[in-house]
Structure 1
Amino acid sequence: MTHAIMPTSVEVFFDDIIVSKTDTKGRITYANRVFAQVCGYSEAELIGKPHSILRHPDMPRCVFKLLWDTIQNGREIFAYVKNITRNGDFYWVFAHVTPSFDSERNIIGYHSNRRVPERRVIGALAPLYAELLAEEARHRNGKEALEAGYRRLIAFVNSKNMSYDQLVFAL
């Protein structure tokens, strides 16, 4: 995926909780003030946009596949994610994403709280994310690239005898 925003090497830091809600397609339905401030968009600009506008090109697509597969199956997930701001800077988050249900347990959207990430975990995950990106880059076909990266991610997680959530808490 080509990004219109050119990434910089400037990291943005925050010290509060970033909150957003999306519909089932990943379009933002709520963004708190902290979210808007950190990413550089106004709350009004964020509403209705796909959450993927924040996807940094350094993030392997297979991590998002794992995230989406998990929440679409009605389960929560914790994940470290590198996002891109409106002007190309970046910021890391420790995301807790949960499905939102109606009274009949149908998924009606998703809720995400993003906290300040632990620097040591980012350091531990960075080589894995780089390896996953390289695996995805070895394939011309987007679907093949995603599947190859996902297989590599799952193999790594399984080699640790734990779930991805457990892995990010254990690092």
Structure 2
Amino acid sequence: MTSGKYPGEERVFDTDKIIVSKTDLKGRITYVNRLFCSIADYAEDELIGRPHNIIRHPAMPRGVFEMLWTRLQAKKEIFAYVINSTKSGDYYWVLAHVTPSFDQSGQAVGYHSNRRAPRKAALDIIRPIYDEMLKIEAKSDRRKDGIQASCHFLEQWLQEKGVNYDEFIFSI
């Protein structure tokens, strides 16, 4: 389905399939599974060593990634709805579960992400929130200020709903 907001075709994948990737601590890809390559239109050798944001879609608020990195650096997992771009300009939505990977001494050595197909009803809820976050980010002259403002918007929105981020994500 082509959308003016999201140019290109929307890609979907089976609900029983999982997109998997691993990165080092700086977000450089160290592993991808076949489904990742297939849906994103990349060969494995085009991805290994590249920043994971190679698939970042411009409709994805940077504030969500700010929250993601904050959680990961605190050695916590995060679930997040994410829109990604393919090499050919199409897009696909996922429900990502990202966790730190630890060595035997408990030190973080990288990150592991499993991504599942999202429910349409969840995307109907998340899209307007992300749209507002993007508008807030675009208003700022300084990228960092825009990211902080969009994070603040999300925090306020959650507070008004009386839930924390994890409760919200698991409720939709």
What's the CA shift for 1:44? 1.1
Alpha-carbon distance in structure 1 between the residues aligned to 2:27 and 2:159: 28
2:138 maps to amino acid: A
Cross-structure match for 1:109: 110
Tell me the matched-pair count.
165
1:19 maps to amino acid: V
Alignment map for 1:63-82 (pairs within 5 Å)? 63-82=64-83
Report the TM-score when normalising by structure 2. 0.93
What's the CA shift for 1:165? 2.0
2:27 maps to amino acid: G
1:95 maps to amino acid: A
1:17 maps to amino acid: I
What's the CA shift for 1:158? 2.3
Cross-structure match for 1:4: none
Alpha-carbon distance in structure 1 between the residues aligned to 2:113 and 2:161: 26
Cross-structure match for 2:124: 123
**CA RMSD after TM alignment:** 1.0
Alignment map for 1:6-45 (pairs within 5 Å)? 8-15=7-14, 16-45=17-46
Alpha-carbon distance in structure 1 between the residues aligned to 2:46 and 2:83: 20
Residue by residue over 1:122-143, the C-alpha shift from the partner in whole angstroms, topping out at 9 and shown as x without a partner, is: 0111000000000111111111
Residue by residue over 1:45-74, the C-alpha shift from the partner in whole angstroms, topping out at 9 and shown as x without a partner, is: 110010101110001100000111011101
Report the TM-score when normalising by structure 1. 0.93
Classify the secondary structure of the residue corresponding to 2:89: coil
What's the CA shift for 1:161? 2.6
What's the CA shift for 1:30? 0.2
Cross-structure match for 1:152: 153
1:60 maps to amino acid: P
Cross-structure match for 1:97: 98
**Structure 2 residues without counterparts, runs of 5 or longer:** 1-5
- 158-167 or 113-122: which moved more? 158-167
